[in-house]
A = this chain, B = another copy of it.
Amino acid sequence: MKSKATSFDIAYRAGVSQSTVSRALRNSPLVNEETRLKVQAIAKELNYKVDKNASNLRSQQSSTLALLLFEDPTNDDSLINPFFLSMLGSITKACSDKGYDLLVSFQQMNDDWHAEFEDSNKADGIILLGYGDFLDYEEKLIQLIEQDTRFVRWGADVESLPIVSVGCDNFHGGYQLTEHVIMNGRKEFAFIGEASSHAPEFFDRYLGHCKALKDHKLAVDETKQFDAISTEESGYKAAESLIKSGAKFDALFGASDLIAIGAMRALLDNNYKVPEDVAIVGFDDIPMASFTFPPLTTAKQNTKLAGELLVESLIKLINEEEVKTTLMPTSLIVRKSCGS
C-alpha cells in the first residue's frame, strides 16, 4: 500500500503553507481563488483525501450518524424484519443525501448499547430503530437522556420523556382499517398482536380498532385478542390458538403484515377461505403484502419519508435547532383480502 499523501505534501508542491492547503481544500473564502485552484489541482493529482480521523479529532465532530438496529433476543438467527430493512434502506439514502456517513450496528435489546458510538466520538448522534419489549427499551432511553446523548427514535411518542420520535399515527391507522372492514359487512373481529404497554405501536392500533368498533356500535370482545410478536410464525401460532378457541369471527386484524401473513396461512391451512369466510388486514405494507393470495389490505407506513424525517430531525438536534416529534399519517391500501 502506497503511503498516503498528506496536506504537507500538497503544501510543499504548491509552495504554500499547510494551513493554506487546509483552507483551500475546505473552500474557505479566506483563500485566494488562484491559490485555491492550484491547491485543489494538486490534491486531485495526488489523489489526496482528507484524513477524517484527524479532522474529526481536531474539529470534534464527525459528520457521521449511527443507526442502532436492535431486536428482540428471541428471534436470533432469522432475517431482519422486512419493515425495518426498508427503513434501513431509506435512512441510508437520506444520510448520503445530507452528506453524512452512516454507521450501522445491530444490538440485542439486553446489550449495554447505550451511546457507545456517540461517546466514542464516532458519530454525532444516533438513530434508534427496533422492536422488543418497550418497558426494557424505556430504561435504555432514560440512560441515553441522562448522558445527554443526541438521538431520535422511530416509534410511538413517549409523552413522559423528552424524546424526539418519528412515528405513524397508529391509532388512526387501526381505526381506518377496521372501519373499512366494517363497511364490507364484517361484524366479528379477532385481533392478533400484543395489545399492552409492552408494545405501544400495536396497542395504539388496537385502541384505534376498538374505537372504530364502538363508533359503529359493534361489541369489543377481548377474548378474541391474541398476543403475537411481529413474525409470521408468531402470527401463525396465534391464529391457531384463535381457531382452537372456537370463537366466531369473520374478520381478522393482524397488528403487522407479518402477523397477518402468518395468520392467513394458518386460516388457509385450516380450510378457511379468505376473504369469503374471513377478511384479513395487516399493517405496514411491506413488499410481500401485495404478493400474498389474496393480496393483503393494509395501512402503509411511508418508510421513505420516515427515513428522511429521522435523519433530518437528528441533524437539527445536532445543530441545536428546535425539533418536534412527528406523527406521520398512514394510508389505507385496499387489496383483495377483505373481499372488495
Interface residues in chain A, defined as those with a beta carbon under 8 Å from any beta carbon in chain B: 1-2, 4, 47, 49-54, 56-57, 62, 64, 69, 79-80, 82, 85-86, 88-90, 92-93, 96, 101-107, 115-116, 119-122, 147-148, 150, 261, 287-288, 291-293, 304
Contact = CB atoms under 8 A, between A and B. Distances in A.
B4 A119 contact: yes
A219 B143 CA distance: 68
Nearest to A107: B96
Contact of A120 (B50, B82, B115, B122): B50
Contacts of A90: 79
Contact of A53 (B56, B69, B92, B293): B56
Nearest to A91: B104
B85 A52 contact: no
A79 B92 CA distance: 11
Given A89-B79, A92-B104, A122 B53 contact: yes
Contacts of A121: 4, 49, 51-54
A300 to B, nearest CB: 13
A261 B287 CA distance: 12
Given A4-B121, A53-B121, 10 more contacts: A49-B116, A49-B121, A64-B103, A79-B86, A79-B89, A82-B287, A92-B104, A92-B105, A102-B105, A103-B104
A53 B49 contact: no
A106 B120 contact: no
Contact of A86 (B85, B120, B304): B85
A92 to B, nearest CB: 5
A116 to B, nearest CB: 7
13 contacts: A2-B147, A47-B119, A49-B120, A51-B57, A52-B121, A53-B54, A80-B86, A80-B89, A85-B86, A101-B103, A103-B103, A104-B104, A287-B288
A268 to B, nearest CB: 12
Contacts of A96: 105-107
Query: Which 4 interchain pairs have the tightest Cβ spacing?
Result: A291-B291, A49-B119, A53-B57, A293-B293
Contacts of A54: 53, 57, 121
A69 B102 CA distance: 12
Contact of A292 (B79, B101, B291): B291
Contacts of A107: 96
Contact of A57 (B57, B79, B86, B304): B57
A88 B90 CA distance: 13
Contacts of A86: 79-80, 85
